[in-house]
Amino acid sequence: MVDMNKTTVRKRLLEQRAKLPHEQILKGSQGVIELVRTLAEWKNASEVLIYWPIKGEVDVRPLITELWQRNCRVLMPRCRPDAFGEMDIACAICEDELTPGPFTIMEPDAEKCPALETCQPDMALIPGVCFDRRGYRLGFGGGYYDRLLASDIMKNTVTIGLGYDFQLVEKLPVQPWDMAMDIICTEEELWRP
């Protein structure tokens, strides 16, 4: 069964990432960040959907700081308390506006940062458990980004999946709702499917 397969791959890759020593996370993240900075899409972006890393995900916090310094709009997803698997998008102007959400992921504080009805992210940096060379992504299994990327808000957004080299494989099991990325970036390469 396809879904069994996803579960198996997810488990294996999550275990592998959990074993990464801190220095390797740091070094890998620095490599990924350097490559992201070479993208014209990054240089020209004024509104970027980004994430706060958990569980050894590529640490993009230096990029968040850079966006704030560049006066770009930093958009981050926020889990909707009333709807499983759904996320709103909100804009935070500094780290003080972030607060831990349901999965202890830092997200824009609902009291300070309203959910945006409309916004136009030029690019989205997206964490993942695994990516394949067709652009497909495996997440934690909630389908959060699949739903978000299917929304109208994201239709002109360049999507970039971020992971370490071992997280990029030839072919993942996919299901009809899985959304593909435009670019995958690891510390070793920028891959355009």
- Note the residues at the interface with ligand ADP (CB under 6 A): 6, 85, 138-143, 146-147, 150, 175, 177-178
Instruction: Specify the residue, 59 or 178, whose C-beta has the smaller distance to Mg ion.
Output: 178
| Rounded-to-integer distance, Cα 155 and Cα 136, Å | 17
| Residue of the chain from 86, 146, 182, 188 that contacts Mg ion (CB under 5 A) | 146
Shortest distance, CB of residue 68 to ligand ADP, whole angstroms?
28
Shortest distance, CB of residue 74 to Mg ion, whole angstroms?
25
Shortest distance, CB of residue 69 to Mg ion, whole angstroms?
33
Which residue from 76, 77, 72, 78 is spatially nearest to 47, judged by alpha carbons? 72
Q: Are 173 and 9 in contact (CB under 8 A)?
A: yes
Instruction: Specify the residue, 88 or 178, whose C-beta has the smaller distance to Mg ion.
Output: 178
Q: Are 162 and 86 in contact (CB under 8 A)?
A: no
Q: Which residues contact 183 (CB under 8 A, 6 or more apart)?
A: 39, 41, 135, 158, 159, 160, 161, 190, 191, 192, 193
Task: For residue 56, give the DSSP letter.
Answer: T
Instruction: Specify the residue, 62 or 85, whose C-beta has the smaller distance to Mg ion.
Output: 85
Choose the stretch contacting Mg ion; rule: CB under 5 A; options: 54-62, 113-121, 124-132, 174-182.
Answer: 174-182
Instruction: Specify the residue, 20 or 180, whose C-beta has the smaller distance to Mg ion.
Output: 180
| Rounded-to-integer distance, Cα 160 and Cα 174, Å | 18
Regarding 178 and contact with Mg ion (CB under 5 A), the answer is: yes
Site residues for Mg ion per CB under 5 A: 146, 178
